[in-house]
Structure 1
């Protein structure tokens, strides 16, 4: 009988439903707030974001939950340890996994694969999802598809919505091309905003071979809820250049002639599903919760054990011990936390007020979010703004549309905060700073204190008695066509902020050579970059000397990059230096002349760059890097011309970006100038032909 019992236990183990929660967004759109607290713990309708995700998993019948934690991992771990999800009666077992070196979804998935935690198909979900989807239907469909298609490795959950639906991501709209009969995904393309102009996609007809009928969908909300097979983490492990879940992994799978795997979509319009991925969606989902569009996800469900919200007419929610003056006016779609007081003559509309807040007299608050322990003094005007916990707004101050007041900020009286200003209580020196772990925070805070002693607060903004600094993103605000902007909510008023910061991955790719960068385990230092350069040059020298294949060289480079936590700029710099050093050796020993040496090296090894550039800024950076290294090594100016012709010929560099790089930079190279003239003439000829 013993073998039979053992077999039964194995079957039960295989049927466990596991969930992987990516608690880190690997983005900086909520800076400077996320320099203090991780996005998944920011309050949405006075409930930490992670709670909505965990409630969904509980209703989905998940048995085991693994939280992949990177930024502020200690805060997440402490929160879970003290939450109801860690109690003996929790519906699932929960564990926090410290993946401190991860800088993207791809890194987290590779870490997951290394740990060997996955036993079967699992649910992959972001820690900022709000949904009431009936998951058993999704799982049933996934199992059916898997029985019919042995190559099926993932099912994406998508919900139907109009193009301008407020919970759709305006920052990363996407197009899915699906088999109209099976919803098998044939092609995926994210379409960045183009200043109100029409967008288009280009697809290889081979993707649509053997398909009777397909449909193009750009009316879908993708909240990143996926059912994945155990093959998914392994594929990330095999492809180190996969960083994003959709634009790298999904697109890579669909376009691969080698993997031959299938991805399907489960589309529904019966349920609510959205991600809090931007200021826009933060406001939209908050308003949907207040308006009960995502029932039973409403404040009076009281997800937290100590919450006591009750529902009143016109979508007003109040906790116990709320003190309201007789002459104050509470409009529709308002939630107010316990121990909060609101003074005479104050008007509040479409807003959320946290616990223990003091709202004075004659204040007007509209479409704003005031977090716990904050104070708003008399006669203030606050519209379309966010005020983080423990902040103080002095009397007679005005916060214009798009204001974000960080934790512990103090605004003096009679201050006017202009539109789209973000203020933090301490200087946030670098976008990557949100990835510093708790062990390093004390040291960073000490540095900030020193800076604050030397550099006073931005008094022209916060006032003479105020405390705070303006947070300035390294990216310029997105200049959108005014005709596409919404007009009656925070997402419309803060549309520029939605796109002012991009993914940490792309941010790190455009940093310059000696610019300091922060890792998750160390304070800013150039040691990692210098050490990486030395190791990378030795690795590439061996590859060139022994004629290794490209994939082996790429794997070794990516392993070095991850282990030393450097940016892709450093990888491109090291690759350029290694290849051009080899060119210089051929020339110096009279083995080959300049053109022959470049032809030999870059025809064979130039493809390395294709796995190191991911967007237009990366191409520009590569051009700058090549020009810099050629000058540093004392090579002839013709060298750059020879390299450009090769990289242009193999489609590593795009014509329009070469022209843009030349136009924006004063490059002293008459040989390249002739190549640019040729490109411009070719472009004019194409225009004439059209």
Structure 2
């Protein structure tokens, strides 16, 4: 993404004839999605690309010439206060004339925080309402100018919502709260708003009162907009919250309530941006996706080498590798691409790091594999560890030969003993965390014994407390000499629902998100991707020598394509959507259909093996379920007769890689039958593949497939005889 040419320096003062611009920053999300980490530290202070989230929000406000900033603190307010007191934002050179933390400890929702703002009389002019976890390079001063111009023309205008366009295949469409906006096409005035259910295979419908559209010339119905929770508000907004105590959330309560009210008669407008980056880190999935976008410079000029913290010294190298001063890399370690490494960090011999962020003062041992993971400050990772799609929090020790599987979160100061396997989607904490029930919260509230708290309105740390225990650790989770306990979520709010199914944490979704070329908040088409790809026009049978860079391209494509198919299967996407995603990815990276078939087959056989190993389905049921439902993907990947043979060779190799040879042989035979029945492969090509495979010697592994092929030949012979 090219740099913004009109970006203003953060120290520029507002024009004297313009009223001072104020900002309200909501530091608490009033959710528990980042538990158990947020039981120790507020979400806005969690690091993203080694920078606390709140820094991105404050930098965004500074660029827009905001004069006064009020940080509304609920959870861990003391930590936020201490951080701000020691930050550059309170120095004499700060672009803010005033920055103040407001302890709103009783607030359990956005509505409560806004009522507190009104009670304190903090707002005197138009203000920016923003969440403390927003990452954006939006030029807010232009939005503010448009908002003020609209207010002159429309005295009833009170809010301008900033929305970002998203393509139909946008990878966050299934991971954020989907909504339907009806906008006046001429003025962008919002006529109607409604949350809509996530895509689950069934079509959603929105019922609209025809009176809403009276006196409106042209209107547009939009469900392709991502709401990153940046709003320009008039001083009337806090007062409306004060008058309506049932307003809790900003969109489903306030916006919908104002638009449907016959008494208020206020207008809300939308500012739809296409070229700016804007995303909110509201879940583990978006944390991962935004981190990758920052590393890949989709949010330029927000990038690690911008050095948002005064003591940072990042430099940008090729393949989006960022290193601070004092980093020590062993000669034989391999830093592949999209990696940030903090100062005083050591990485040992033979270690491979890909698409990951490693904090400061970390020690990474020898022969370690770190892929698409986040290692925070002060962490120690021992020799021979494998960490994939996981988060290792600050000051955590992972001892030698530990495997941390996808979706796992290792909390602050946990110690995982050597040779431990941390399964998928496991969350570990140093001290047990207990969910407070409503009755427990009530008993702790000495000032109001009759208070009742709804679980969904409890902030990220207030709903949990340390659980008293005489045990020092749970050996079944962290090993005999480890330190830590298993954290188990028991609230729906901590679960991220996507497409009708509930998934805890970052398992699977994280794997699916972080390997996509499509930015989380970008609609750049594949042909515009800023990638140095070498064109390959030779067919799969041509003699061709590829460079190391091209090998890396194919390896990268394989990972991303596999993730695309896995995401489609897990979220039950339709076939056409999956095919379009694969084809877009293929064209953007300029690879052959052989690589597409390879990735698709790999993802499908892995899915079959997963069902079998977890005892969800038997061998036959799992194979038929996956290949009957998703085998038609190959119809758009197999065009020539030699492509059919190539597909069968790929399938054979994938089945040979099964942990159980007998299982792999059964899967091969059953999937062959499905491909034949679906007319994806023909008899002659099956025989051609089988004769070549036999010549190489399949042994016992090929016996089941061989019997099936012989049956096919006999059946064909009988059919020919009958015809004669």
Same fold flag (TM > 0.5): yes
8 Å Cα contact 1:166-1:281 kept in structure 2: no
Q: How does 1:394-433 map to 2 (within 5 A)?
A: 394-430=399-435
Aligned pair partner of 1:108 in 92, 108, 113:
113
Distance 2:197 2:342 in 1: 38
Distance 1:290 1:271 in 2: 16
Q: Which digits, 9 at most, give the CA deviation of each residue in 1:607-643, with x for residues without a partner?
A: xxxxxxxxxxxxxxxxxxxxxxxxxxxxxxxxxxxxx
Q: How does 1:9-48 map to 2 (within 5 A)?
A: 15-48=19-52
Partner of residue 355, structure 2: 350
Distance 1:151 1:353 in 2: 49
8 Å Cα contact 1:402-1:490 kept in structure 2: no
Partner of residue 324, structure 1: 329
8 Å Cα contact 1:154-1:264 kept in structure 2: yes
Partner of residue 452, structure 1: 469
8 Å Cα contact 1:423-1:471 kept in structure 2: yes
Partner of residue 590, structure 2: none
Partner of residue 487, structure 2: 471
Distance 2:355 2:175 in 1: 22
Give the CA deviation at 1:211.
1.2
Q: Which digits, 9 at most, give the CA deviation of each residue in 1:371-430, with x for residues without a partner?
A: 000000011111110111011112111111100111111111111111111111111111
Partner of residue 217, structure 2: 212
Give the CA deviation at 1:456.
4.9
Q: How does 1:501-516 map to 2 (within 5 A)?
A: none
Q: How does 1:263-282 map to 2 (within 5 A)?
A: 263-282=268-287
Distance 2:176 2:276 in 1: 23
Distance 2:123 2:514 in 1: 40
8 Å Cα contact 1:168-1:274 kept in structure 2: no
Distance 1:13 1:22 in 2: 29
Give the CA deviation at 1:165.
2.3
Partner of residue 305, structure 2: 300
* Structure 2, unpaired ranges of 5+: 1-14, 446-460, 516-562, 572-724
Distance 1:91 1:447 in 2: 38
Partner of residue 462, structure 1: 478
Partner of residue 590, structure 1: none
Partner of residue 161, structure 2: 156
Partner of residue 141, structure 1: 146
Query: Is the counterpart of residue 230 in structure 1 residue 235 in structure 2?
Result: yes
SS state of the match for residue 452, structure 1? coil
Give the CA deviation at 1:458.
2.5
Give TM-score scaled by structure 1 length.
0.66
Distance 1:430 1:71 in 2: 15
Partner of residue 288, structure 1: 293
Distance 1:101 1:169 in 2: 32
Q: How does 1:550-629 map to 2 (within 5 A)?
A: none
* Gap change, CA 1:29 and 1:490, over 3 Å in 2: farther
* Gap change, CA 1:33 and 1:447, over 3 Å in 2: closer
Distance 2:567 2:241 in 1: 33
Give the CA deviation at 1:47.
0.2
Greater helix content: 1
Query: Is the counterpart of residue 61 in structure 1 residue 65 in structure 2?
Result: yes
Q: Which digits, 9 at most, give the CA deviation of each residue in 1:78-111, with x for residues without a partner?
A: 0000000010110002011010000000000000
Give the CA deviation at 1:166.
3.3
Q: Which digits, 9 at most, give the CA deviation of each residue in 1:171-207, with x for residues without a partner?
A: 4111111111111011111123253432222222222
Superposed CA RMSD:
2.9
SS state of the match for residue 281, structure 1? helix
Partner of residue 99, structure 2: 94
8 Å Cα contact 1:290-1:299 kept in structure 2: yes
Report the number of matched residues: 480
Distance 1:421 1:229 in 2: 45
8 Å Cα contact 1:279-1:490 kept in structure 2: no
Q: How does 1:489-504 map to 2 (within 5 A)?
A: 489-490=513-514
Distance 1:458 1:89 in 2: 49
SS state of the match for residue 264, structure 2? coil
Give the CA deviation at 1:141.
1.0
* Structure 1, unpaired ranges of 5+: 1-10, 438-442, 500-690
Q: How does 1:196-211 map to 2 (within 5 A)?
A: 196-211=201-216
Partner of residue 124, structure 2: 119
Distance 1:485 1:368 in 2: 13
Partner of residue 394, structure 2: 389
8 Å Cα contact 1:280-1:495 kept in structure 2: no
Give TM-score scaled by structure 2 length.
0.63
SS state of the match for residue 469, structure 2? helix
